[in-house]
Amino acid sequence: MIEAVSEEKKPIDNLDIGDAFNEEKDEEFCKLLESLYQKYGYDFRQYSEAHIKRRIRNRMTLSGIKDISEIQFKILNDEAFVIKLLHDLSITVTEMFRDPNFYKSLRENVIPLLKTYPFIKIWHAGCSTGQEAYSMAILLQEEGLYERSTLYATDFNQQVVNQAKEGIFSNVLIKEYTANYQVSGGKASFSDYYTSDDTNAIMNQSLKKNIVWANHNLVTDSVFAEVNMILCRNVLIYFNKDLQNKVHTLFYSSLVKGGILALGSKESLRFTDLNNKYVEADRKNRIYKKKY
């Protein structure tokens, strides 16, 4: 497993893919992804092609690479470059209490179910830098459930897992996080859950004690725990249909009967192979309950 290092990334949303990936280069693009998988075990071959090309194009721009053959060479021979590329390919868009109405729905529609379990296991799949796992910890604490809960927070990128475990976030973000928390139905003051210096906010140790941070790849790894709830929000939109079905099969196998699957607002089970195996707990917020 490659140990990643921190590097600041520039925004890439408005980048044009450019001539580096025209039709004549598609075969080389496939070889590039194959090399990344064969040598390092990271499989992006079934990710959205437009998403992967945009991210690779951004890395080429940052590294001064003008030809796809050069990036192929660097993947095979330059591990430091691969670390940077893997960081680029990670999905790291997240925030505390992101989409506050989603968390309000959890309080109203899911917490009553979780309270029926003697012990609660929740899986945050694709946890990125951890903000949403900490949000869930706060919610469970306020609902009196945290002491009998275990949260598994996983991501394929070891760098972001390490960052998430630290629970340190810029003070610049705290105003937005506080507003999200309040709209979500927070029952206390958000400042109760962190300590702050001139630069950063550090999440309280009491929130960290029941979170298990782990490296797990949704594309290549199998079931690792039976859980009562899975949150995987706005991750599967970056996968093609076949890979989405594969991951949904993994989720279905991981959930107990009556378990909850919470997806992002841009995702749905409607067009997957497992649609008929769930009932909607909240259509708007894409929260589903496993039938059997």
Structural domains of the chain, with CATH: 18-89 (no CATH), 100-290 (3.40.50.150)
Nearest CA to 216 among 243, 247, 261, 259? 247
Contact assessment for residue 121 and residue 149, using Cβ atoms and an 8 Å cutoff: yes
What band does 15 get if pLDDT is binned at 50, 70 and 90? very low
At 148-183, the pLDDT tens digits run 999 999 999 888 899 999 999 999 999 999 999 999
Nearest CA to 229 among 130, 136, 101? 136
Nearest CA to 234 among 123, 111, 91? 91
Nearest CA to 68 among 2, 17, 12? 17
At 62-96, the pLDDT tens digits run 889 888 888 888 888 888 898 888 888 877 778 99
Q: H or E segment at 201?
A: strand 200-203
At 217-269, the pLDDT tens digits run 998 898 878 999 999 998 898 888 899 999 999 999 999 999 999 997 888 89
